[in-house]
Chain A
Amino acid sequence: MNVNSLYEKPVLFALAAVVVISVGTLVTTFIPLFLPSTQPVSPLFTPYTAVETEGRDIYIREGCNNCHTQTVRPLRAEVARYGDYSRAEESAWDRPFLWGSRRTGPDLARVGGKYPDAWHYRHMANPQAMFGKSNMPAYAWLAKAKLDTSLTARKVKVLGFGYDEAEVARQLAAFRRTVTAPTWPSAQERSRVTPAALRGELTELDALVAYLQKLGRDLMAAQRAAAGPGTAEAAEKKNPYAGNRTAGEEGEKIFEENCKVCHGEKGAGGFGPKLATTKHKFGGTDADLFTTVSGGRPGGMPSFLQPLGKDRIWKVITYIRRLESESR
């Protein structure tokens, strides 16, 4: 047979093309569909709740994935910036996956629990008010839209999350009770951005914030549990820069960039507690303050050990001490 006749027989040619494109497809895409390595499941990672599912769909609708990734690569600086690298198991419930391809904004795979809800309400409503140099669009209108839950039960069923319609209704009602309660820690900020008519309802922003707070939370909870109390790095005891004026000035710069957004101008307080005081929420010794800043605290204080390092943390503490003395 003459191979040249391939170029004289279009149907045969098309079939040959299909065969040729199928080889790579089979090896790199089709066969992996059935390998354990591409679909690992771990009980550590739970499916999304009804509200988180709706929040995720809003994330998709608004195309958040066009600017934010959700996969931390196993690179030193990246782990320091965002948190531990991403595992295959974490995405087991993700249909579609939302790893993204571009970081116009930061990665979000570890954002869950990093900040209090109030931080997200204020930030989503007006990012530039918190970070002047940010170019994120404002999403204030999400707080003005009532959350549509008519399809939630159906969505959860298609996604195979394993709970029924009654459970969906229960979760939605319970979440609504939580966020609309005046005693909820983020109630003030939520009311500020939510129009009066919707303060008693679930809004799209409520759902989106709930979803963001889920990201990476399961992994970090599992790691905390595995580490156990006391095995964390022993806290440093004494500030090497105590009373050092230049270190305090450097600390002020670091504070402005990293802490002011939550703790307010000159530590006057905001989402985070007031720092220009001698009464600190988690203790006021050098060791206490270092432990708080480096390891973070539940309820929205992120860990700064990796991004800032010990040296800069001590400089910030030096600055906080100055704020204390000024407050007296």
Chain B
Amino acid sequence: MTPRALAYLIFTLLLAGIFAGIIAYYFNRKRYDRVEAPKHRMLADDDPLPDPTGSRREG
């Protein structure tokens, strides 16, 4: 294998690895609630007078 082909291969594997890592991280069950929280909160953004401390509740 030429060094050039090897470089292409390593680069591709590296990207695939990072990609897999990101998926594994975010699709981990224990992060589910936190990662998915904003999609529920955005539905309530029409509250007439938002509670300024409300946003800190989940942190």
Contacts and interface: CB of A to CB of B under 8 A. Distances in A.
B10 interface: no
Contacts of B34: 4
Contacts of B25: 3
A7 B38 CA distance: 10
Nearest to B25: A3
Contacts, number: 6
Nearest to A7: B38
Interface string B31-43: 1001100100000
Q: Chain A: interface secondary structure? A: helix
Interface in A1-55: 3-4, 7-8
Contacts of A8: 59
Contacts of B59: 8
Interface string A144-158: 000000000000000
Contacts of A3: 25
A182 B46 CA distance: 80
A111 B8 CA distance: 40
Nearest to A23: B15
A26 to B, nearest CB: 13
A137 to B, nearest CB: 47
Contacts of B35: 4
Contacts of B38: 7
Contacts of B31: 4
B28 to A, nearest CB: 11
Interface in B36-59: 38, 59
A2 to B, nearest CB: 9
A3 B21 CA distance: 12
Interface in B5-33: 25, 31
B16 to A, nearest CB: 15
A4 B26 CA distance: 9
Contacts of A7: 38
Contacts of A4: 31, 34-35
Nearest to B26: A3
A4 B31 CA distance: 9
Nearest to B31: A4
A8 B37 CA distance: 13
Nearest to B35: A4
A103 to B, nearest CB: 34
A185 B1 CA distance: 62
B29 to A, nearest CB: 15
A8 B59 CA distance: 10
A162 to B, nearest CB: 37
Interface of A: 3-4, 7-8
Interface of B: 25, 31, 34-35, 38, 59
A-B interface, 6 closest residue pairs, ranked by CB to CB distance from nearest: A4-B34, A3-B25, A4-B35, A4-B31, A7-B38, A8-B59
6 contacts: A3-B25, A4-B31, A4-B34, A4-B35, A7-B38, A8-B59
